[in-house]
Amino acid sequence: MSDEVAVQEGEGCARLRLRVKAGARRERFLGAHGGALKLEVGAPPERGKANAAVVRLLAGELGLPRTEVEISAGATSRDKTVVFTGVDAADIVARFERAGVPARVAIADRNKLAGKGS
């Protein structure tokens, strides 16, 4: 399991993989889980309630409007991809650091993503 969470740079956005535990007692960031950020939300995993809670948690902790946080993949899965629009990867990394997330959040190495890393 990797202890680093990779933020991917996109055009006018940043992407992040999540591992979500719905129906938890507290809403919080837990740390890294295989390159994704693991978090818990109190909402149950039904009718989009947990997804809405994930968006609220991320937007609130990172100081972003909810309209700039979108779950782009994994709506019915524990493993999700979230897209932050209007910000770049460096800004997201800095916002996670200020929020005190218990994981090392870093910009993804493009060479590793493309399978060119050593």
Alpha carbon distance 27, 48 (integer Å): 16
Count Cβ neighbours within 10 Å for each residue of 73-98 and write b for 16 or more, e otherwise: ebeeeeebbbbbeebbbeebbebbee
Residue type, 51: N
Q: In this predicted model, what pLDDT tens digit does every residue of 19-73 receive, in sequence order?
A: 999 999 999 999 999 999 999 999 999 999 999 999 999 999 999 999 999 999 9
Which tens digits make up the pLDDT trace of 65-95? 999 999 999 999 999 999 999 999 999 999 9
Domain ranges of the chain: 4-109
pTM of the predicted model, to two decimals?
0.88
Q: Which fold has domain 4-109?
A: Conserved Hypothetical Protein Mth637; Chain: A; (3.30.1200)
